[in-house]
Structure 1
Amino acid sequence: PGTRRRRGGGAKGTGRRWRRRGIGRRDRRAAARLERRPAPPPVRLTRRGRVVLVGAVALLSLVGFWLGTRAVSHAAVQVVVPSTAGLPWVEVRHGDTLWAIADVLSGGDDPGAVVEEIKRLNGLPDPIIHPGTRLYVPRDIAGVVR
């Protein structure tokens, strides 16, 4: 008599809960709320922020430049060691120094020249040597070889 039956029948919440086309009522409400929200304000950098940003970019650029130049300088340094085939050699023992070895090999002459020649033959950048290292010595002064 005065009551209407719902489509899908039964009490509220029963029956089919989906629609055949489009989006549901809840989804429409959520979409409408999203459309009404104002857009976020654009990002603004203060003077302090700009200084920090420029400083950070400059610092990163300098670090990259510095690392790049170090890599290039290491790649460019190439030690040219002359052929040591057939040269006499001395094995460095604990407590030996390049100057002591050169002094023994020079036979009283200037050990400085012998040190420089040994460094050149072995490609040593400095006179530091380690025990167990095989040092090649010049033929003309290799009178005493251990």
Structure 2
Amino acid sequence: MSAMVIGGAVRGGGAAMPVLVRPARARRTSSQPALHLTRRGRAVLVGLALVLVAFAVALGARAAVAAGDGDVRIDRHVVQPGETMWSIAESSRGAGESVQDQVRELVRVNGLSGAHLTAGQELVVPRG
């Protein structure tokens, strides 16, 4: 077996031990990237990008459905004595829409816990 000795030998207890010099670390140049991604890391990044794109598409689709057609008008209505949610829904529902669906929409849009109304209460009424 042969060994390459660079520099002098270190003498200790009786036998000379060779001193091995490690090469100087190569300095990083601007052309070498500071970050090395493995195949798994690239796969994770691509997966995250696909999830973000799917999330953006889902939000866009949801917004398009929520917007519906441009014929929906929003009015403010002050509840008069004797008026019910049913009567307001009946006068404000769209063509082909059931009164029950319009009542649910009025409750949802106005953040009400039920269909109970009081005189003087102001409602947001979608008219379609």
What's the TM-score bracket when you normalise by the shorter of the two chains?
0.3 to 0.5
Structure with bigger gyration radius: 1
Q: TM-score, normalised by structure 1?
A: 0.36
Q: TM-score, normalised by structure 2?
A: 0.40
Larger strand proportion of the pair: 2
